[in-house]
Structure 1
Amino acid sequence: MTNQFQLPRHSRMCSSEFLFGVATSSYQIEGAVKEGGRCDSIWDTFCRVPGKVDNGDNGDIACDHYHLWEQDIEMVHSLGVDAYRMSIAWPRILPEEDAVNVKGLSFYEQIIDKCHALGMKVYVTLYHWDLPQYLEDRGGWLNRETAYKFAHYADVVSRYFGDKIDVYTTLNEPFVSAFLGYRWGVHAPGICGESEGFLASHHLMLAHGLAMPILRKNAPGAKHGVVFNATPFYAERERDIGAAEYKEAENFHWFIDPVLKGNYPKVVLDREFEHRPMILEGDLDIISAPVDYIGINYYSRGVVRYDENGDIESVPQTDAEHTYIGWEIYPQGLTDLLLRLKTRYSNLPPIYITENGAAGNDQCVDGAVDDEQRQHYFQTHLLAVDQAIEQGVNVQGYFAWSLMDNFEWAFGYAQRFGMVHVDYHTQKRTLKQSAIAYRNMLLARSEENKNG
């Protein structure tokens, strides 16, 4: 592979106005779960349940970013990126319901200040799945009150930081929080129930809507939005088109429609009639508060068909290339997804690709990590973004997932998504070839823009 990713000449992505970054999340990298006044999150609890996380792994130490944050931010800067996307751990800020933990705020302030001192913008996610356990003890996202607790948390953070945070994200991937956590039980808190999943989803979206005016008031100079994971679906046969359309409606229209259209997709409400969440009058007005951007996290596609009973089933693409985690590599899906969003939403705000990346079985050999498949993945997906831009989609930035190997939720540490290899025994960081290619692309772009 080349040691530099290539963008088409004259692409808008070559402009200094297009933003490139890397991304992480708090529970996946920080560790120090008992330090700095932090309380337990639902993931601390979930990890202690035998069989829930591969190899019995947990986030107790993770990448020890809590102690190594300064060298990590220097490493981010060395890649030549414009921005760093991170999340703030709710359990560090409000370890008790009404007790603001200044140590937690100070921890993140030093990271934000360091990023700004190095010339990088800071994109902060307020909720990347680490709900305080004391709120889960009262029902978590099944309790409508949690949406209001989130609004209070957003108020605490945004009053403290204001415009010092360049871009605020309310939620990361509410689909995962709601459906994997409360519908299918494979993520924390491990609840299984159709009704529970849809109820949690509504309360998450309500939390987003309640937070938006608070964020705008406290940080009027910042941008504010929300991040969705989105998987485009394809029909195996023409008669399966309805199956693909439904899967997209359930997978991401269910979460994006209430924000951009002020309603939930009828096809899902009808099919899940007995599991409809309680939606109070005015809820959708709250959820559809204007946003400055939406983030899209893309990894792969899905192919589906109707089975003999009329149910929708996935069709494995056995002849296609897959990553180590088993996800098909399909860059065309990213272009298709972005074009479908442009078609569906006449009021589509600017888009950032807030996550995109691949898991590999990466080995550090003689101080180097040759992650050829990941290099190919990034190269083809960067071109896929460019194709969407050429066809009129307003994409303004791209964040690679992830900065470094980390705790990959229910997969533990077996799946490595990082551009930087982490030796979990020594905490040594090693730039993989993909990180070097990303850095070289950004350095070349910077030089070209300097030279006109």
Structure 2
Amino acid sequence: MSSNFIWAVATAAYQIEGGKDTDGRTPSMWDAIREIPGRIKDGSTKDLSCDGRNKYREDVQLIKSLGVTHYRFSIDWSRVMKNGKTRNPLGMEYYKDLCRELKKEGIKCIVTLFHADLPLDLYNEGSWLTEGIIDRFVEFSRYCYEELNEYVSIWITFNEIRMHAWAGVVKVEGEPFHSLDIDYKKFLGNVSVTRAVMVASRNMLLAHAKVYRLFHEKDDSTRVGIIVGAHSCMDAEGEKISAVSERATKSMVNLYLDPLIHPSNDWTEDMKEYLGTDLPPWSEDEKKLLKNTMDVLCLNYYRPHIVKERKGPSLVEELFNFTMVDDDWPKIGGESSWVRLHPRGLISLLEGLTKKEKEDGMKYPNVPILISENGVNDDPSLDSLEDTNRIQYIEAHIDGILEARRSGINVIGYTAWSLMDNLEWDDGFQVRFGLFHVDLKSEEKTRTPKMSVDWYRKKIEKERRDETMNKEVK
């Protein structure tokens, strides 16, 4: 294991900063969602946050106490560009202050440009359904690069691009409702919802490619990645890889990788077969733009899925002719949690991506892989600070990842989600993933370490010590 292995912890901007406008921040999509009665399960409004905007110095000390090498955070577009369009130096100053503080403590930055929250004006103008947003995103990214690049180790354009396309633009059957109820036909005409989703996907991939080219024109050593949700799928017959499990994985993972790193820089033929005319084509110039625009492949992983050959209830299951079925893996976050303890699912996906490098006609390049999120919510049956379930979950995944790395898979780092309890989108603050507990009722939004904090620090120390010893033996 290289001494450059990344040990990280992550949070997202809006989830800890909140919707406060004291530095010229303008409204975002999630501000509007949080004001709709009944949409957020704990009833909290946009005014409730962890106040990360004002507590960043304290939070950097929390990050330092973990012993990590990197901190992954995201930029709130609505904070740094008014209405998504005009530069706001006062809002940008917060991120510069945060980066300076991290640098002072020897912690490198992994920065996500888009993490599910769009400026409200841009959402109302068509969101990712219109091509005009591509240039808006490029200008936002340019501003971030100009102000922050000296501090950034890895830039990530989109967090879980597939998740946002299917859940954060329009309402889609069987997907989380993480958007406002936009009338996509107003922008695209009388087309199917599948077409709307894939137009949004196409525009985000083009925006990613343009930002990649821009950053590399400025400095070719810049590392740019994109996050895909690690939807590892296994056949119900013996938890194996089969035609149906591979097709399900392709629909949620490879569909978003192929235009960037497949030799054709196109949707693959099997995807065209399933999606038909709902899949918008690429021009030859667009294929050239997309080609090899990934320095780091980032994966957020929480659980795999068991699938069978049958059209399921959701749109994606119907389109790709599979259905997700119940599993018996440990419900590590309690009976109501969607997270499962099954690290083999991630290793299976990593092995599948590695295998593609060797298949004729596929030849995926050996792109470095960063596990950009992995974690579990508090188990309600445990004391809020005695998160032994989190320790069990994270340790199992770290051990699996390091074993995969030793076997030759190019995994360059691990990121725990999340630094502190924060807004978990439509669940509000009632579901807590943090290594640090946040007292949201206190004026100071007091942070208190859970058991996992000391454990994670010691785990990192042990793995780095073992690495040094192994080098000396060699």
Same fold per TM (> 0.5)?
Answer: yes
Residue by residue over 1:198-254, the C-alpha shift from the partner in whole angstroms, topping out at 9 and shown as x without a partner, is: 111111111100111111233544322212111110111389933212211111111
Q: Distance in 1 between matches of 2:331 and 2:94?
A: 41
Which range is displaced more, 98-107 or 355-364?
A: 355-364
Contact kept? 2:83, 2:120, Cα under 8 Å:
no
Q: Distance in 2 between matches of 1:354 and 1:121?
A: 14
The yes-or-no answer on 1:187 pairing with 2:178 is: yes
Which range is displaced more, 386-395 or 218-227?
A: 218-227
The match for 2:420 among 398, 401, 404 is: 404
Contact kept? 1:21, 1:400, Cα under 8 Å:
yes
1:183 CA displacement: 5.2
Q: Which has the higher contact order (CA 8 A, sep 6+)?
A: 1
The match for 1:423 among 424, 439, 444 is: 439
Q: Distance in 2 between matches of 1:207 and 1:260?
A: 16
Q: Corresponding residue for 2:271?
A: 268
1:280 CA displacement: 3.9
1:449 CA displacement: 6.8
Q: 1:268 to 1:56 in 2, by over 3 A?
A: farther
Match for 1:27: what amino acid? Y
1:338 CA displacement: 0.8
Give the total of aligned pairs: 437
1:416 CA displacement: 0.9
The yes-or-no answer on 1:101 pairing with 2:88 is: yes
Match for 1:435: what amino acid? V
Q: SS at the partner of 2:453?
A: helix
The match for 2:61 among 60, 64, 74 is: 74
Which range is displaced more, 329-338 or 25-34?
A: 25-34
Q: Corresponding residue for 1:55?
A: 42
Q: Corresponding residue for 1:339?
A: 351
Q: Corresponding residue for 2:393?
A: 377
Please give the residue correspondences for 1:30-429 in structure 2 after superposition, counting only pairs within 5 Å: 30-181=17-168, 182=170, 184=172, 186-190=177-181, 193-237=193-237, 241-261=242-262, 262-307=265-310, 311-318=321-328, 320-324=330-334, 325-345=337-357, 346-361=364-379, 369-426=385-442, 427-429=445-447
Q: Distance in 2 between matches of 1:265 and 1:54?
A: 39
1:380 CA displacement: 0.6
Q: SS at the partner of 1:234?
A: strand
Contact kept? 2:227, 2:299, Cα under 8 Å:
yes
Q: 1:240 to 1:149 in 2, by over 3 A?
A: same
Residue by residue over 1:281-304, the C-alpha shift from the partner in whole angstroms, topping out at 9 and shown as x without a partner, is: 422322234322111111100001
TM-score normalised over the length of structure 1: 0.90
Q: Distance in 2 between matches of 1:71 and 1:382?
A: 27
Query: Which runs of 5 or more structure 2 residues have no equivalent in the other structure?
Result: 185-192, 313-317, 358-363
Contact kept? 1:228, 1:252, Cα under 8 Å:
yes
TM-score normalised over the length of structure 2: 0.86
1:447 CA displacement: 5.7
1:98 CA displacement: 4.1
Q: SS at the partner of 1:55?
A: coil
Q: 1:391 to 1:450 in 2, by over 3 A?
A: closer
1:166 CA displacement: 2.1
- State the superposition RMSD in angstroms: 2.4
Contact kept? 1:52, 1:410, Cα under 8 Å:
yes
Q: 1:446 to 1:137 in 2, by over 3 A?
A: same
